[in-house]
Amino acid sequence: TRAMRPANEREISEDVLQAQEEWEAVEGVQSGLLYETKTGLLEDLAGHTPLISFNEALQYFQTSDLSECRRKIQPTVHRTGLSAIAHFLFGPPRLHRELEEERDLALAVAQCAFDNNQKVHMRVLQTIYKKLTGSTFDCPRYGAHWEQLGFQGLDPATDLRGTGFLGLMHTLYLVMNTQTLPLALDIFRLSQHQTQNFPFCVMSINITRIVIQALREECLSRECNRRQQVVAVLNEFYVATFLHLYHIWKMQNKTIADSGFTLKEVEAFAKKNPKQLLRSLEMYLVGHHSVATTVDNWSLHPSSSSVPCSPDFQSQKKELKFTGVCDLEVRMEGEARLV
C-alpha cells in the first residue's frame, strides 16, 4: 500500500491541476475581458462578439465600395411587346428618380456574397444566431447548429444564392427590431413544430427573394414614392410577407411538403396587394405591442431545449426537401424570373 501511495498522489495532483486549469478557463470566460481593435470596436476575448443593429450594418454597406455588385444589378424587369404596353398603361408608377440610388443600394447588397474576412458580415451572422437561440456566446462559423436555425447545411453562406447578403440583412432586421422580435420567435417556434416544421432561415431567404422581385417589378414603387423611402419599405414588406405566410402556414396546417406552392401563392398575393399587407402588419404590431412590452425576458429568448420538437425531427428534415420559390418548375403566366 505504501509503495502505491506516491503513484496515487501523483494521479490526484494531476487531477487537481487539470481541474484548476479548467476552472481558470471558466473564470476567463465569465470575466469577459474586452479589448479594442484598430477600428475601435470592442470585442470579447471569450467569444462575445457584440450584437449589430440593422442600421449599423446598413451604414457599413453605404460606405463600402460596391461597384462590382452594382454592375450586376438589374433595377427593373425588362418587358417587351404587349406586356410592356400593358405595364406602361395600367401598371404601377415608376420609382421617383431621387430614390433610385437607394433602390440600387438594396439591389447591390443582394449581389454581395458572404465574406468571412469582413467583421460586419460575421457580426450579422452571430447576431441572428444569438437572438433566435438566446445564447450569449459566439458559435462556430460552420456546424450543425446552423441547421437548427433552418439553414440547409453547415455553412449558411451557401443558402444565400439569389438574395446575397440582403437575405441576412432582412433576418437581422426581423430579430433586432423590438417590435418584430416576438413575431420572429413565434415563427421560429412554428418552424420547430413536430409536424409543421420548416427551415426558418431558408424560408426567410425565400421571402427576401419575393421582396427583391416585387421591387424589380415596381410593385412597391407607389409606397416608396409616398414615403420617400426604399429600404424601410423593403424591410416592412419583408416582415409583412413573412407574417402573411406564417398565418397561412399555421392556420391551414401546412407542412414542408406544401412549401413550394404555398410560397408561390404568397408571392402572387404580396405583389398584387402590397398596401394591404403593410396595413395588416401595422395592425398586427399595434395589437401585439402591449403584450410584447410585458413579456418576460426569458420568453423572448427561448433555449433550444424549450422548443417543442419531435425526437426524429432531424431525420424528418433530411427526408423532406424544402422547395423554394426558385425551385418550382410550374411558372405563373407573365412571371419574371427571380434574381
- Taking only the tens of pLDDT, the chain with its 339 residues reads 445 555 555 555 666 666 566 555 444 444 333 444 444 444 444 468 999 999 999 999 999 999 999 999 998 865 556 655 555 545 678 999 999 999 999 999 999 999 999 999 999 999 999 999 999 999 999 999 999 999 999 999 999 988 999 999 999 999 999 999 999 999 999 999 999 999 999 999 999 999 999 999 999 999 999 999 999 999 999 999 999 999 999 999 999 999 999 999 999 999 999 999 999 999 999 987 655 555 544 444 444 433 444 444 444 444 445 455 444 433 333 333 333
Residue owning grid cell 441547421: 147
Per-residue pLDDT, 92: 73
Rounded alpha-carbon distances, angstroms, from residue 213 to 107, 279, 318 = 10, 20, 29
Check if the beta carbon of residue 46 is closer than 8 Å to that of residue 32: yes
Per-residue pLDDT, 290: 56
Per-residue pLDDT, 75: 86
Per-residue pLDDT, 17: 64
Per-residue pLDDT, 255: 95
Which pTM value belongs to this model? 0.74
Per-residue pLDDT, 162: 86
Length of the chain in terms of residues written: 339
Count of CB atoms situated within 10 Å of the CB of 185: 21
Residue 75's nearest CA partner among 96, 97, 104, 99 is 104
Give the separation between CA 321 and CA 339, rounded to whole angstroms: 22
Q: DSSP state, 37?
A: -
